[in-house]
Structure 1
Amino acid sequence: MMDKGFYFDQQSFSTLFPFYFIMDKQQRILNFGPSLKKMIPELNYNDSFDLFFHFKSPIFLKNAAEITVEKLEGTLIVLTVLNHTKTFLRGQMIPYGDDILFIGSPWVSSIDELAEKKLEMTDFAIHDTSIDMLNMLRSLEISNNDLKYMVHAITSQKRELQRDKEEIKKLSLVVSTNENGVVLTDINGEVFWVNEAYMSMTGYREESVIGNTLYRLGVSEFTDKTVLDKMLEAFRKAEVFDYEVIHKRADESFFWARIKGHPVFDNLGNFIEYYTMIEDITHEKEMQDRLKESEQRLRSLILNLHDGILLEDENRKILLVNQKFCSMFGIPVAPELLIGSDCTNSAEESKDYFKDNTHFISRIEQILSDKQPVLHEVLELVDGRVFSRSYIPVVIDNVHKGHLWTYEDISLERHFQDSLNNEKEKYRRIIENMNIGLLEVDNDDRILMANQRFCTMSGYTPEELEGKKGVDVFLNEDTKRLLTEKSQLRRSKISDSYELEVRGSDGEERVWLVSGGPNYDLTGSVIGSIGLHFDITETRNLEIQREQLLERLERQNRQLNEYAQIVSHDLKSPLRSIHSLITFIKEDNDKEFNEQTAKYFNLIQEKVEKMELLIQGILAYSKIDSPTSRKESIDLNDLVRSIESIIYIPNHISLQIKRPLPTVKEDLFRMQQLFLNLISNAINYNDKSIGFVEIDVEEEPLRYIFSVRDNGIGISTRNQSRIFKMFESINGNEKSTGIGLNIVKKILENIGEEIWLISEEGVGTTFYFTLQKHDKRNPKS
């Protein structure tokens, strides 16, 4: 036992605390002092605590299993020694490493009890106050006997010898040895003799005491006047009294005193004086107050516990019940009103709460008959709740004094456990039937468990796998190193996924996707790892084919774009030539052509112009998906003005920007095509004598909502879903190629934006589309 530099071997410790014992958490007595063994000869090492001891105080500790550091702290422990009549140990329990140390001594009230317990003074430690108390009791007994004898002797001779001074001197010598205060008063209450102990106790001088009264000497403002009246009444009647009151000192301080008064009579039975003994019981009172406070705290704790508490006496009368118990059983009265009620009737009234109500009553009767502790017995109620019931008998001095019932609502825990069990069962079935190979290994990579799917994947049986190392069974030399590195990660509590090339039992090379993680025991230590295995051999082959296909498609796409550029150039050149030739023919022969021929030439010219527009639209469409797009800051106000300068806008149609447009970060070509096609579409389909195209924007926290509104011909509801399709022109406009709105929709879809419209036929159309303030595909942009 070492603490702050002090060390005691077992012999030294036994000398200091000869009645100690040490108990482990399993309630086994590991060691004990020699005097304890002498008092309890049948005590041996590793005996159970409950075999020899029972808690008398504090009342909330009934057995060693309930001992905790918090309950022990600052608590006086009183143990009843079983099978030894009226034998108690008084002391304290303190934590000693993982064990519990009890230090104390027997609680004895007289020297005669020592012999009954086979003990001697030498069996106690020298510092033990029990020795002093026993000596004091013996001295007090002798002194009191001598004192009474002397008082009676002196009293009988008092009148004849007129208080013989020699006898008084003898009396003084005897009484002076008493540690308690002794005061002799006459029939008027005036003190005529006092011992040194009283003066030391009160701080009074002898001259202040002699001739005075105990009333004037001892009464303070804190003294209970009711008790004083009882003492005075007993004094006047010459009766024996024994009271506890507050006694004043000379310095106006006070102490608790036990005052015992004995009247003294002469040979004729006349009351002649009073012998009074004053004992300082302040420490005892403090201990009683602390005990009461402790009892009150314990009572308050019980009353406010989360569990329902019911304490009954041996006749099943209620001693204590808390509000939680009343709430659990729907008792509509205050707990204190139930004190003294008969629990036999209460149990009968409460049985209908439980599913098996007949068994509820019979089980209570059986428990009360057995008088053995019952812990956490589960009861199911008809309303779906689940209670845990415990029963603890209260035994004092081997006599059954009552019993404590505790009820805990464990509905949530039970339902949680049921759900957990259901989940476990569900996942067990899933694991058994899932198309995932499950493998559990220890820290040495030895296989502990493999499910059926893993065995199918690997071609091995569970018997062929268990106990073997995965690196020796599946892996080639190139992948063994990878699995060793992953095993190190598991020991470091790191999970990850990786691909593993393996060799099956048939020698075929396969590719597995492995998701591995550490496996823990209940203490949180890594005991191995668990891996989920997917056979991705076919997927890998498909990926390789897909990559090859994508590469081929990319090459073909590049060739098609190049071809589109060439075709566009080669087609536009003869179209321009045809257009020029028709213009020359019309100019040279305008007067010679008849009306029908001129009409044909105009129709040819329009078709050539439309074909050129179609070629330009197809070329623009082919560039939309180009991966070489470059984002830059674009002032949309400048963009709209540049479009206004390059397209033909009739004089009767105006282009307006209602509110200033923002600057966005997008591809310039795509933004030009977006606004160009929407504005051109609004102009081409405007049939009003005074037309307009209005561009506006609304700002939201994360995006802009743009609108392009016109007062043109409008679009019927049945045609609104068709206008974004390729080569769809629903109004037969000669200038329409059926490509423009399809280009607009494709641009917005490629950058993750939306477009929609609101239109009324004959009134006009408004196209709405969104642009994010930041690129959703790259938030840092």
Structure 2
Amino acid sequence: MTQVDDSNLLRRRLEREKRARVEAEAILEKKALELYNANEQLQHLNENLEQQIQAKLAELQESEQRYRQLIESVQDIIYKISPEGVFTFVNSVVEKLLGYTEQEFVGKHFTDIVAPGYRKATLAFYQSMLEERIDSTYSEFPVVAKDGRTVWIGQTVRFIESEGNIAELVAVARDISDRKLAESQLQRTQTRLSTLITSLESGILVKDEQQRVILANQLFCDMFGIQDAPEQLIGQDYSRSVEFIKGSMEDPEAFAQQVEQLMQNRQAVTGEEIRMVNGRILERDYIPIFLKEQYMGHLWKYTDVTDKYLARERIRRSEEKYRGIMNNMELGLLEVDHNQTIIRSYERFCQMVGYAEEELVGKHAADLLVAPEFRNVINQQQITRKQGNASSYEMQLIRKDGSRIWALVSGVPILDEEGKIVGSIGIHYDLTERKQLEEELARAKRIADEARLAEKQFLANMSHEIRTPLNAIIGMSHLLFDTKPDQQQREYIDILKTSANFLHSLISDLLDMTKIEAGRIEVHARPFDLTGLLRSIQKVFEMKLKDRAISIDVMLDARISGDFVGDDVMLNQILMNLVGNAEKFTEEGSIQITARLKKQEAAKYWIEFAVVDTGIGIPKEKLDLVFQKFKQVNPHGHKHKGTGLGLAITKELVEIQGGTIAVRSHVGEGSQFTFTLPFGKSETPSEPVVVAPGNVPLCDDTLGCHVLIVEDNLMNQKYITSLLTKWNVPYTLALDGKHAVEEAKKQRFDIILMDIQMPIMDGYEASVAIRSSHNPNQNIPIIALTASAMLDQKNLALEAGMNDFLTKPFEPAQLRSLLQQYAPAEMVHDGDTMLDWERLNLLYGSDMEYTAEMLSIFLSDIVPEIMELPVLCQEDKRTELGQKVHKLKPTFGMVGLSQLEGKMAQLEKIVKQGSKDELLEIYCNDIIVKVNEMIPVIKKEIQKITPA
């Protein structure tokens, strides 16, 4: 290539490079401009963003200030706490309500301010909220202010979440102390009103707008023969009560219609008179209840006005009677004006008061004739007369000579022609002789009452003074048999025991007849097993006759089956008397007891009983004497003696029940006593037949109960302590009631045997003191040891808080039977650490694997709940304690802990009765001790029955 060509090439390349450089510079210039513009825009955006941020910050500061002012201005405490329960924020209201500053409050744990006794429940509230993630809850509890005041607050709590976790809790709390105080006052007011209504001297029934009973008192139930207690009626449909009540009314349908009419009208009606079938007259008030014109139910009030009605009727008849006498001028008439000035006095009245008519006319009747103490009566009668009403009354008049006479005055208003009251006329009848007779009768009645009281006191004293030493005699005779006497000594002891038993029987017969004649024996009908009762009597006499050539049999009608309703105690006494009488007069042969259904009338079954013996018989001419008091038919000077009251008492007991009794007999062939009694048929199971006292067999097991003996008589102390020592029963002896109360405060007993008549403090006073004071024996059984067989004294024992009574003299078996009855269930037998396998077999049969599983569940799931009982007792959470005890009680029986199931039942009863805290803790702790004792036993049984 030439140099020219190279130059052209170079030039063209330079031009291209130049153009390329120009283009690059243009591009660079364009990019620089774009970058400048972008930079300007970014700077502008930064300025706008900074302004927005500043505006937002100002807005947030303003909002925060506004919310803070809002929080500070409310009257509620607003606070935050961490999930651990520590306060992280609180508004200033806390200082106003509780006295703490914000600085003092923040950092505290919430339990620091909760009142003692509520901390555990409040802690459980927060834990439940956190665990169950309840978004919002409300609760109420008391807190302690800085100055020690207790303030009730009600709070609403919400939680705040952050990334799925609860970051904190926010609450608004308000002082509700005033509301709590108002609620408490309202509850007290409601209680007072309820108490007032239930204690009125009228039958009260209150129902709500749904016709449900909300309140009734005992008098209402008694008035209409309602067997349920008043509290059992609450919630029942009122119409059922109307149906029941109307059966007591003289006109049932009219009664029901009137009730319906009153309830429809809903207008108060008072003083309505209704008559009952039994002749009683009631005054009925119907009061509808409205609250701000809304019907809320009504109140029925029934008042027995029979006596008032009869009194009114007596007055009416008396007025008629005296009007007839007045017509024969046997009454004294006196007319007065409306100012009590005498207008006219009739002759008979003048004779009564000893004044002439001219001496009376124009004088003020009350000032001249009425005794000062009767001026108020006259003034009241004057008001009644001005109202146009007549009335009768009694008062004393002063005669001219200063002596006094009693007069029955019947006053009526006197009207003029226009019907205006211008005065009154009094018809006076001289009651002086009648009043004197009444005073004499009252004096005679007082003397008779004093005589009856003296007789009653004599019987009580006789019973006590004879039975007390007799108790020791009979008791010691039993104990002497345990000393291994020789043959001659046994004969002497038998004579001693026979004589003492005869004396006991004599006293009992006398007192039984006294009670019958006084009308203090009542028939108590209840379901019972008639066949079982007859078999029981047969067994008793089989034991008694085992060494004699006498057989005793029972023959029953095939139609007699199931349970009957009647007084089984009276029937038992009748048969025991008759069979005992047959045994006395039968040397050998047989005694037969028969029972057959004689007839049936609707629901009444007439059963004929017969006691037939092959004894010596009764002469025909003496058959009429057998049922007479103090008459003995003892042919040939028979060796058996007695009071002559046994058969007389038997006849009275039969007739009290509406039955009849008769006797047939032939000398040398035997006797047959036949009696017939009416019974009902029972559809419910009866109670077990009670074997006659004195024939309860002794057991060989040890009674593990601790007994407090309260007895001042040295012989009885020796007798009772000897028996308890023999039975290995630990005891403590108190010589009088005061000593017994002191011992009851020191230690817990299982049973108290309490004598009645003691010096310093008697048994009644001691029982009341033990039941009323704080001591570990406030609810344990107290058995009265009474030498009196009088019903009044036994009733007094029960009213004083005693559970039962044992009449002296008593035999060892009777005392032991009572100890077995009232001793705690787990103490009656040895081996109380054993499971009740009889019950387990009934529940699970031969399935040992299932049995082991149930025992394991009890240890793992139930025992931890049982261990919570003492805490509930200490914190006095009665409702929770009652619910837990009720829930846990059946689980003990399911694992064979039957005795502990009984203790849980006792604890449940004590909780319901509202017993003292100390007693609850004693029972709760006792159960925990027993459960801890049984845990290794259960574990051992699980190992035994679990397959290898």
- How would you bin the TM-score normalised by the shorter chain? 0.3 to 0.5
Structure in which a larger fraction of residues adopt helix? 2
Larger Rg: 1
Which structure is richer in relative contact order (CA contacts within 8 A, separation 6 or more)? 2
User: TM-score, normalised on structure 2?
Assistant: 0.31
Structure in which a larger fraction of residues adopt strand? 1
